[in-house]
Structure 1
Amino acid sequence: MVRVLDKAAVQPRRTFNPSTSFIIRRSPGRSRIATIQIKIPAVNAQPNRVELVATVGVKGVTGIVQILFRIFRDGVEIFNTQQGIESAGSEQNYAVTFQAVDRNVKAGTHVYTVTAENRTANTRADVVGPISFSGLAVQTRT
């Protein structure tokens, strides 16, 4: 049995739109994609987990880009995944979706942030949308 503690969601971009795109910064720089806040109560909230899901629409512009997506809780990285993005032929536009689980989060308000960074020299990829990021905090029973 689980009990919902909190939920949050943002959708900074609802559609694919190249005219409002932005370049994914080259490592070690990062492009911030989306941020949410999750509140964990001080009483009766352990054990718990925060289930996080992000979708980012990306377009390859030059070369084959390796994009590193990261999720941070309160500025500390808790998850990462990497996705290759092509820029030629039929594979140019991608909706990259990933999920993470953060377990036994302490009481308080926590800021979760998704970032992206380009890990490949002399390549380019842009965020073209859509973008969504959601979190669901639940108390779990052992």
Structure 2
Amino acid sequence: MVSAVRILDKATSQPRSRFNLGSATTIRRSPGRTQLATIRIRIPSVKSQPNRVELVASVGVRGVTGIAQVLFRIFRDGREIYNTLQGIESSGSEQNYIVTFQAIDRNVKSGSHVYTVTAENQTANTKAVIVGPISFSGLAVKTRS
């Protein structure tokens, strides 16, 4: 049986629309974090259960020194709901990456929710920078069988 969905809300953020070495931002070392983008999704009412919020982020990253292990996290209302780790190589190899990942947040309570995507470098003596583009989007849907 095919599941039907109804769109509850959609939000997008694109703080950087292109690759630009001139505006590179260093990814902070853990436990510090570099905030990349924020969106707000509204779930209208309890009658919107069951639901899911589909989140997609793409981040342009450049390796500068060593092989940085960059931890990307997604937070809902300040609470981590998803993370993924990506190795970013530097000189002598590939240096520029577009890291894309998707997360699904299920059965979100009604109300307005802030989703934030961050990055942090977990490897000492390495450096990686955000060079763009950055995009972050969320689609909230009501699901039913």
Which bracket does the TM-score occupy, shorter chain normalised?
Answer: over 0.9
TM-score w.r.t. the length of structure 2 is 0.96
- Corresponding residue of 2:72: 69
- Is it true that 1:25 corresponds to 2:28 in the alignment? yes
For structure 2, the 5+ residue unaligned runs are: none
Percent of matched pairs sharing the same residue: 73
What per-residue deviation string (whole Å, max 9, x for no partner) do you get for residues 110-141 of structure 1? Answer: 00000000000000000000000000000000
Equivalent residue of 1:70, what SS?
strand
Residue type at the aligned position of 2:74: I
What per-residue deviation string (whole Å, max 9, x for no partner) do you get for residues 77-132 of structure 1? Answer: 00000000000224000000000000000000000000000000000000000000
What per-residue deviation string (whole Å, max 9, x for no partner) do you get for residues 46-104 of structure 1? Answer: 00000000000000000000000000000000000000000022400000000000000
- Corresponding residue of 1:96: 99
What's the C-alpha RMSD, in Å, of the aligned pairs?
0.7
- Is it true that 1:113 corresponds to 2:119 in the alignment? no
Q: 1:57 aligns with which of 57, 60, 68?
A: 60
TM-score w.r.t. the length of structure 1 is 0.98
C-alpha distance in 1 between matches for 2:93 and 2:70: 19
Residue type at the aligned position of 1:119: Q
Residue type at the aligned position of 1:47: P
Number of residue pairs matched by the alignment: 142
